[in-house]
Amino acid sequence: MSARPLSGKVAVVTGGSKGIGAAGVKAFAAAGASVVIGARGRELAEKTAGEIGAAGGKALAVACDVADYASVEGMFSAAAEAFGGVDLVLAGAGVNLQRDLLVDADIDLWRKTIEINLIGVYHTARAAIPRLKARGGGKFIAIGSGRGRRGSTHSSAYACSKAGQWMLIRCLAEELLDSNIAVNEIVPGPVWTDMNTQWGDRIDPIFTGGPEWAKQPDDVVPLLMFLATQPNLGPTGQFFALNRREI
């Protein structure tokens, strides 16, 4: 494989200022892509964009709230204006806002989790698809979770949002079979990101015991690059996991 297999490509990453999204941004840029870093908090995104630029790459930071379609559409318009189009999308924005039993959960936080994790991916796909089609095809990758495959306590909103996302990915893959656009999901397993470490002594025990591999965001990069560099007519409607247990 070329040392810069994404040369000439344009990648848009939501949730690109932190965690797996940020790791993806840096990997795509190092592989030669021009990158658009979408994030609600622009300061970290601009810092990363500056670092990529200083290293000779091309990057643009854009304030983006995936729960707001106009904001997402604006991000893709900025990507097309700055770099001429879009070839690769990583839907990396996600939250886990509550860890209570469903009956005790804050209703507004439950709804907001769905709006960001599921409707946010729908917004991202809806805005991305015309741009990908305009380039003759491309890749759409979403970050999923094993929680979307099995029932569990204390994470109903997150689990339901990820279960819905997995069905959305499969529907999109079917709809886009004739458009040269591959749509897939990665299931990284437990990763030490702000979304998970915020819970302190209430952190999911999967991070601290059992057979699982608790990863850093950079550990997910090889899987992201594998999908980013597949042919557009390669795998679609699939999920690719880094788990060490059945999901």
Specify the CATH number of the domain 10-241. Answer: 3.40.50.720
SS3 label, residue 154 = coil
Q: Is residue 158 annotated as a catalytic residue, yes or no? A: yes
**pTM (global) more than 0.85:** yes
| 245 Cβ contact partners less than 8 Å away, ≥ 6 residues apart | 146, 210, 211, 212
Determine which one of 76, 110, 158, 166 is catalytic: 158
What pLDDT score was predicted for residue 208? Answer: 67
pLDDT at 195 over 80: no
Residue 198 confidence class, pLDDT cut points 50, 70, 90: low
pLDDT at 210 over 80: no
What's the token pair of residue 214? 């608790």
